[in-house]
Amino acid sequence: MTLLQAALLGILQGITEFLPISSSGHLVVVESLLGLHVEELKDFDVTLHLGTLLAILIYFRKEIFQVRRWPLLAVATIPAVIVGLLFADTIDAHLRNTTSVAILMIVMGLIYFIPQPRSDQKLTWGRGIIIGVAQTLALIPGVSRSGSTIFTGMMLGLKREEAAKFSFMLGAVAITGAGLLTSYHIFEGTEQVTLSAPTLLVGFITAFLSSWLAADWLMKFLHKHGLQAFGVYRIILGFTLLLFF
């Protein structure tokens, strides 16, 4: 992997992790275009997610350090952990391809056009757990973790900004858990460190900066707009992938 490819993947990770357009789906497409297999580069994957995680921790530091939310975040993450442990390999084997990603891009794009109620409901344990269940769908490339959780929060009556904040904090827990698990595998020797320090550093910095900018832009965007614009993007991209792949 070249430094330019590392920078490209870092920017891609940072932007698509926050925007509801599917980071894993875009990664599958870029892998096909560049001839890379990022899933085999676990140390690089961890590095990119650490950059994204740092951006979340800094940007949403006030919300994250509200200790009263930690138990809800932990419980809401359990469904994704269970589904991931049971079905992650099966999902990757059957759904990690451009055709599947294209179809899910279109389907989720259409779902974004479902009218989302404008209300000011509070984030309760019940709503938080339902959003956590919705997060399990993000294990399928092309769905989008932020998209599934933000959309579900909005459909449950949360403000768009509140749904996004909870989505990102929930993502921070998921990213931390996945990073720790992969780091453990590397430490145990079941995964290998495959890239040089400069390559990892470029990936980390670009992922951090693009994550920060994407989070800031999305929070401002959601103050006035819903998810329909992202639905248009997903539908166009999905049909484009079906035509060319």
CA distance 96 to 108: 16
Q: Which residue has the tokens 């430094």?
A: 3
Q: Taking the CA atoms of the chain, what radius of gyration do you get in angstroms?
A: 17
Going by pLDDT thresholds of 50, 70 and 90, the confidence category of residue 245 is: confident
pLDDT of 157 reads: 92
Whether the pLDDT of residue 133 is over 90: the answer is yes
Q: How many domains does the chain have?
A: 1
Whether the pLDDT of residue 188 is over 70: the answer is no
What would the mean pLDDT of 3-31 be, rounded to a whole number?
Answer: 87
* Alpha carbon 15 to chain centroid, angstroms: 9
What would the mean pLDDT of 72-97 be, rounded to a whole number?
Answer: 87
Whether the pLDDT of residue 39 is over 60: the answer is no
pTM of the predicted model over 0.75: yes
- Angle of the 98-111 helix axis to the 145-155 helix axis, nearest 10: 20
Are the beta carbons of 49 and 178 closer than 8 angstroms? yes
Are the beta carbons of 157 and 57 closer than 8 angstroms? no
CA distance 128 to 236: 31
The range of the structural domain enclosing residue 221 comes to 3-244
Planar angle of CA 212, 199, 181, nearest 5 degrees: 70
Are the beta carbons of 211 and 51 closer than 8 angstroms? yes
Other Cβ atoms less than 10 A from the Cβ of 112: the count is 22
Q: How far is CA 155 from CA 120, 144, 167, 189, 209, in A?
A: 11, 16, 13, 44, 30
